[in-house]
Amino acid sequence: MQFIAVIIAAIASFGFGAIWYMSLAKPWMAAAGVSEEQVKAGAGPAPYIIAFISAILVAGMMRHIFASSGIDTGGKGLISGLGIGLFMASPWLATCYSFGMRSRKLIAIDTGYITFGSAIMGLILGLF
């Protein structure tokens, strides 16, 4: 049952990412310094496969942390996932992007996805 919860949480976060980045495509491309042509030319399955595998790994570790910590409700999962995204994962990405001289707008877009995607994962894992 827990494996299914991990897969569902990964799918939900991945789906949220699709909505997030489709709605922010133009600002994201401008902030990342890539053109629509570059995105289309680089389009292929690899980034999506990597993103989904990464979502499974994150959801699996979150499930382990939740089980070890007694996080067993949707509310606790939501808050815990939000905290993991906002106070653990996002600061790491912001640090890397800052040293890479990436724009604040790109940091905001990508850490926003990490924060809310983690909250969604946490909610689902807490419900299962």
- pLDDT single digits (tens) 1-16: 799 999 999 999 999 9
- pLDDT single digits (tens) 37-51: 988 887 789 999 999
The C-alpha atoms of residue 69 and residue 62 are separated, in whole angstroms, by 10
Average pLDDT, the chain: 96
Structure tokens at 86: 């906002």
pTM metric for this prediction: 0.93
* pLDDT reported for residue 15: 98
What percent of the chain has pLDDT above 90?
Answer: 90
Asked if residues 21 and 113 have their Cβ atoms less than 8 Å apart, the reply is yes
